[in-house]
């Protein structure tokens, strides 16, 4: 039987990150639900530890999860993507004057 960590690694390889895919329906709904519970539990334990509360999250577990690309904050992945796009924009244009109406994907 495949462990939860192995399933998380497979998900990371398949979807290039450890956020759950939301655009396509999962093939195995039970596995998907189990991973959702696991992801929330990991994030909850990490947050407790950060607040200095009792947590089952250890340094070793953090390292293991980060090694497979685990995203601690649900918004962290989209922020990282947008930050990389901004760095590209700065490289291409020499500034970071991106207006709200414009898209980093568009040529200016």
For the question of whether the overall pTM of this predicted structure is more than 0.75, the answer is no
Tell me: the pLDDT tens digits for 93-107?
Answer: 888 777 765 555 555
- Two tokens, residue 74: 């649900």
Do residues 18 and 36 touch, judged by C-beta distance below 8 A?
no
> What DSSP string describes 1-54?
---HHHHHHHHHHHHTSSS---SS--S-HHHHHHHHHHHHHHHHHHHHHHTT--
State both tokens at 22.
Answer: 């939301």
The per-residue pLDDT for range 7-40, each reduced to its tens digit, is 777 766 665 555 555 545 566 777 777 777 888 8
């Amino acid at each position: 039987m495949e462990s939860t960590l192995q399933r998380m690694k497979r998900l990371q390889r398949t979807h290039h990150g450890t956020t759950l895919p939301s655009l396509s329906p999962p093939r195995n709904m039970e596995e998907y639900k189990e991973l959702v519970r696991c992801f929330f539990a990991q994030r909850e334990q990490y947050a407790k530890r950060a607040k200095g509360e009792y947590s089952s999250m250890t340094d070793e577990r953090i390292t293991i999860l980060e090694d497979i690309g685990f995203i601690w904050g649900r918004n962290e992945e989209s922020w990282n993507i947008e930050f990389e796009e901004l760095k590209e924009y700065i490289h291409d244009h020499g500034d970071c004057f991106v207006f709200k109406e414009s898209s980093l994907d568009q040529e200016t």
